[in-house]
Chains A and B, each alone.
Chain A
Amino acid sequence: MIRVLATVFATLTATLPVLAQTTPDNKELVTSFTLDNGLQVIVVEDHRAPVLQHMIWYRSGAADEPRGASGVAHFLEHLLFKATDTLEAGEFSATVAANGGRDNAFTSYDYTAYFQRVAADRLDLMMRMEADRMVNIRLTEQNIATERDVILEERNTRVENSARALFSEQKSAIQYFNHRYGVPVIGWRHEMEALDLDDALSFYRTYYAPNNATLVVSGDVTPDEVKALAQKHYGVIPANPDLPVRVRTQEPPQTAARRMRYKDPRVAQEYVSRSYLAPERNSGDQETAAALFLLAEILGGGTTSYLTEQLQFETQVAVYTGAFYSGQSLDQTTFSVIVVPAEGVSLEEVEAAMDKGLADFIDGGVDPDQLARIKMQLRASQVYARDNVDGIANRYGRALSVGLTIKDVQDWPDILQAVTGEQIIEAAREVLRPETSVTGWLMRDAGLESEVSQ
């Protein structure tokens, strides 16, 4: 084995710079242009199979909803599968299916996206239908009543039936005092129950317009083909001159640590979840976010990460540790750490071990070998990413919906490679401050009374 290992390291050393050079840049696969009405278009080419994905991303999501109407962005997403001037309710999906395709949609805080995966020669039809429902939906009171029941059942499935989901919903609410990221995307139940036709149409008329959208087509297509069809179907839709500027209420500085304990009889495995407000990726300014991205990998990205090493291997007080950071967010995001205690270890003990681990890490600095391995993996991930162009397409769609530019997306890999251990520690010091933490304990409730149901 020693000989094998030596070979492995020799190979590695020899090939590190080679990989960086031979990785064909994803820039080559990606083309972009903007129509006169403001619709931004991204094309990601992959001609290996005659299929494509057609997506439209609206730069509006749950965090853009008016107060009191939580869930309306997602409700509207469901309603876009109902009738338009030319399609009956359900006909959109039925037509996609009849053409051998799959379609769906998703809503997040900062965007709402619709997509179809179909054979490459069906782009014209997909665009015709997607452009149609951008401006022509026709809703009835019956649609509203039935689909509202559906989203309430969706909330049951995703949230009410899961102690973990209820816990994290409560925790977000105390994380964000003044920003809509504290309100669940699916909505608070009492507000969802009151959503009506006016709520849905008002959101639709405000935000569904070409100058508030990004069209992303990936797969076996050429930019010229996409341009001609996009002009034909989307190009004729006028921009919305009254599109509101995207300004949301922001968080005040956090000056006190916040704590919560959530008890539920359905909890089998207790755990501690810690989070901190953290800066997101901003256009032309992604360095801190890059350091935080690497910090999450180093602290809790897998078997070799720092917290895993300390809490699972050394002291063995945890069965699972993880650290998470998502920089793709319009406004301030979070950096979070989760620790699941080992049998017989209390939440208090495992939290103390986590805090000690975080402090020790900041004192001790980044292991340069670990950082080099992570960077090697990130370079390789660019090779693997080319096997999934829809994934590349999604990355652009999401980034452009949260205020980043194509250049920001393309610069990101190099920015990650340039991050130093010192910058990571600096970012950790800045973000992982005890006085600005939010700590939640998900706890077993042995009592017969459930505190959570309904």
Chain B
Amino acid sequence: MKHLMILILALVFAGPAMAEVKIKEVTSPGGLTAWLVEDHSIPFTALEIRFRGGTSLDAPGKRGSIHLMTALIEEGAGDLESRAYARTLEGLAASFGFDSSSDSVSVSARFLSENREAALSLLRDTLHHPRFDQSAIDRVRGQVISSLRSDAKDPDAIAAATFRRLAYGDHPYGSDGAGTIETISGLSRDDIIAAKRAVFSREHLYIGAVGDITAQELGAVIDDLLGDLPATGATIPGLATVGLTGGVTVVDFDTPQSVALFGHAGIDQDDPDFFAAYVLNQVLGGGSFESRLMNEVREKRGLTYGVYSYLSPRDLAATYRGGVSSANGKIAEAIAVISDEWAKAAHEGITKAEMDAAKTYLTGAYPLRFDGNARIAGILVAMQMQDLPIDYIATRNARVEAVTLADVNRVASELLQPEGLRFVVVGKPEGLQDRTD
């Protein structure tokens, strides 16, 4: 390992390469704010628009309405029914992507400079005059139902659903944002319209743009696209309580390899200890091949193809979680090894060498994220939603570097709860049964 240490030292002295990402804050004449990275080298623009709240804004009894609305919004607008709409979009060679998660609904648009006006005109109609034709509702609902049926027989989806329910109970985080076959079967066109009204508001709006567009042009574009949205949307629900307790939950499912998810409460992104936790996780289960979990479970014992852990700080709750899959006869051992590693890190912490390697990786890898207009536009929006300063990118690596070993190991002892770790196992695991510690 001598060889490796020399490299690390060399890198610290050289300093990591940093992409120059010049972000401008644009305030439109109508008073909307957007972050922009101008880059005129390729004649197109990526525009990312997000609305905070996401599927967590579903009205009571209408679970899945926002997810379905998001799937339906590209099914026709204004005078264009589904197919005419799709043909028009194809003719423009633009792409509009709509997606929903538990924290936001996103609109990801990509359009050429040469027909920007026409593309944005279509996007405007899409956001303001979606048709929500009954025939489209029925057709797309059929697709969602088909996918929910598949989830019911998919070990990964079963594990996710079980974990979510155990962690969050009746909070929106506790159920699938796509709803259930029962809830979405009952949705009417009015429910879809109400879902749109709940989501699309200026109050919950965040905008990022990257590419061949000037600040002035962007200001006019966003006023035209979004200025007419209602000022306020549905109220975002309160924080979720993470109800996980230590133990094992087995879901019996006949499949040769057990799928396990595990976790407990985590740490918020704006917590002063977040970076210490981030470095800790890099060492424990965040790296691809180098983490302790990967080393112990895969490299040394061959118990799995993949094992990982990650911090999941969402708007309304934070968890620290991970996953592993092993043959039914081996999953018990994999879980025992993970539990041991969790306890070891909690009680003994990590070493200085591990921390240094993790920091070098995290700081060096950071610039690799900024690789492409759409990717950067997404980062700009995420930064605004996390309330980060506009110069954050330039300061972020210093925040990682500032973490000390004492910080990491204090956070390890506070954050990691070896006795509070809940494993959800889907399969026919040998030597494992439901257990609450």
Seen from chain A, the residues whose Cβ lies within 8 Å of a Cβ on chain B are 1-2, 4-5, 7-9, 11-12, 15, 18-19, 22, 48-51, 81, 86-91, 93-95, 97-104, 117-121, 125, 145-154, 156-157, 160-161, 163, 265-269, 302-304, 309, 312-313, 316, 319-320, 340, 342-343, 369-370, 373-374, 376-377, 379-381, 383-384, 386-388, 390, 450, 453-454
Q: Is B422's CB within 8 Å of the partner chain A? A: no
Q: Which residues of A contact B386 (CB under 8 A)?
A: none
Q: Is B371's CB within 8 Å of the partner chain A? A: yes
Of B24-32, B39-47, B217-225, B227-235, which binds chain A?
Answer: B39-47
Q: B80-115 toward A: CB 8 Å interface, digit per residue (1/0)?
A: 101100111011110000000000000000101011
**A25, chain B: closest CB distance, angstroms:** 13
Of B55-63, B301-309, B412-420, which binds chain A?
Answer: B301-309
Query: What CA separation (Å) do A249 and B385 show in the bound complex?
Result: 57
25 A-B pairs with C-beta separation under 8 A: A50-B367, A81-B289, A93-B289, A100-B364, A103-B288, A117-B368, A118-B364, A146-B301, A153-B302, A153-B303, A156-B257, A157-B257, A161-B256, A161-B325, A163-B153, A268-B149, A269-B146, A269-B147, A303-B83, A309-B83, A320-B146, A343-B145, A373-B87, A373-B90, A388-B372
Q: Is the CB of B91 within 8 A of A267?
A: no
Q: Is B313's CB within 8 Å of the partner chain A? A: no
Q: Is the CB of B367 within 8 A of A49?
A: yes
- In the A-B complex, list the 4 residue pairs whose CB atoms are closest, starting with the nearest: A100-B364, A149-B302, A380-B93, A1-B79
Q: Which residues of B contact A312 (CB under 8 A)?
A: 139
Q: Is the CB of B290 within 8 A of A93?
A: yes
Query: What CA separation (Å) do A156 and B155 show in the bound complex?
Result: 12
Q: Is the CB of B290 within 8 A of A94?
A: yes
Q: Which residues of A contact B117 (CB under 8 A)?
A: 11
Query: What CA separation (Å) do A104 and B14 show in the bound complex?
Result: 25
Q: Is the CB of B7 within 8 A of A5?
A: no
Q: Which residues of B contact A121 (CB under 8 A)?
A: 14, 17
Q: Is the CB of A88 within 8 A of B300?
A: no
Q: Is the CB of B299 within 8 A of A450?
A: no
Of B162-170, B199-207, B355-363, B403-411, which binds chain A?
Answer: B355-363
Q: Is B249's CB within 8 Å of the partner chain A? A: no
Q: Is the CB of A304 within 8 A of B87?
A: yes
**B405, chain A: closest CB distance, angstroms:** 17
Which residues from 268 to 324 on chain B have a C-beta closer than 8 Å to any C-beta of chain A?
A: 287-290, 295, 298-306
**B25, chain A: closest CB distance, angstroms:** 22
Q: Is B436's CB within 8 Å of the partner chain A? A: no
> If A81-B289, A161-B255, A377-B93 touch, does A100 touch B304 (CB 8 Å cutoff)?
no
Q: Which of A145, A160, A380 contacts B302 (CB 8 A)?
A: A145
Q: Is the CB of A94 within 8 A of B357?
A: yes
> If A145-B302, A150-B304, A157-B306 touch, does A342 touch B142 (CB 8 Å cutoff)?
yes
Q: Is the CB of B86 within 8 A of A18?
A: no
Query: What CA separation (Å) do A304 and B80 show in the bound complex?
Result: 13
Most-contacted residue by chain A among B20, B289, B298 (CB, 10 A): B289
Q: Is the CB of A98 within 8 A of B360?
A: yes
**A286, chain B: closest CB distance, angstroms:** 23
Q: Which residues of A contact B374 (CB under 8 A)?
A: 387
Query: What CA separation (Å) do A121 and B303 show in the bound complex?
Result: 37
Query: What CA separation (Å) do A117 and B87 show in the bound complex?
Result: 38
Most-contacted residue by chain A among B14, B125, B256, B288 (CB, 10 A): B256
Q: Is B326's CB within 8 Å of the partner chain A? A: yes
**B307, chain A: closest CB distance, angstroms:** 10
**Sample of 4 further A-B pairs with CB below 8 A, known A93-B290, A104-B288, A387-B373:** A95-B4, A100-B362, A117-B368, A163-B153
Query: What CA separation (Å) do A147 and B299 show in the bound complex?
Result: 7
Q: Is the CB of B364 within 8 A of A156?
A: no
Q: Which residues of A contact B239 (CB under 8 A)?
A: none
Query: What CA separation (Å) do A99 and B12 show in the bound complex?
Result: 10
Q: Is the CB of A386 within 8 A of B42?
A: yes
Q: Is the CB of A146 within 8 A of B300?
A: yes
Query: What CA separation (Å) do A387 and B4 show in the bound complex?
Result: 34
* Closest B residue by C-beta to A379: B93
Q: Which of A89, A269, A313, A343 contacts B150 (CB 8 A)?
A: A269
Q: B359-394 toward A: CB 8 Å interface, digit per residue (1/0)?
A: 011111111101111100000000000000000000
Q: Is the CB of B150 within 8 A of A150?
A: no
Q: Which of A2, A87, A151, A388 contacts B3 (CB 8 A)?
A: A87
Q: Which of B79, B114, B287 contacts A15 (CB 8 A)?
A: B114
Q: Is the CB of A100 within 8 A of B93?
A: no
Q: Is B122's CB within 8 Å of the partner chain A? A: yes
Q: Which of B7, B80, B143 contacts A125 (CB 8 A)?
A: B7
Q: Is B8's CB within 8 Å of the partner chain A? A: yes
**B272, chain A: closest CB distance, angstroms:** 25
Query: What CA separation (Å) do A388 and B373 show in the bound complex?
Result: 9
Q: Which residues of A contact B154 (CB under 8 A)?
A: 266, 268
Q: Which residues of B contact A103 (CB under 8 A)?
A: 288
Q: Is B243's CB within 8 Å of the partner chain A? A: no
* Closest B residue by C-beta to A374: B90
Q: Which of B86, B112, B146, B306 contacts A19 (CB 8 A)?
A: B112
Q: Which residues of A contact B365 (CB under 8 A)?
A: 100-102
Query: What CA separation (Å) do A157 and B304 show in the bound complex?
Result: 9
Query: What CA separation (Å) do A57 and B398 show in the bound complex?
Result: 37
Query: What CA separation (Å) do A374 and B87 show in the bound complex?
Result: 10
Query: What CA separation (Å) do A1 and B81 show in the bound complex?
Result: 12
Q: Which residues of A contact B402 (CB under 8 A)?
A: none
Q: Which residues of A contact B183 (CB under 8 A)?
A: none
Q: Is the CB of A147 within 8 A of B371?
A: no
Q: Is the CB of A383 within 8 A of B42?
A: yes
**B259, chain A: closest CB distance, angstroms:** 7
> If A156-B256, A387-B373 touch, does A4 touch B125 (CB 8 Å cutoff)?
yes
Q: Which residues of A contact B86 (CB under 8 A)?
A: 302-304
Q: Is the CB of A304 within 8 A of B305?
A: no
* Closest A residue by C-beta to B334: A153
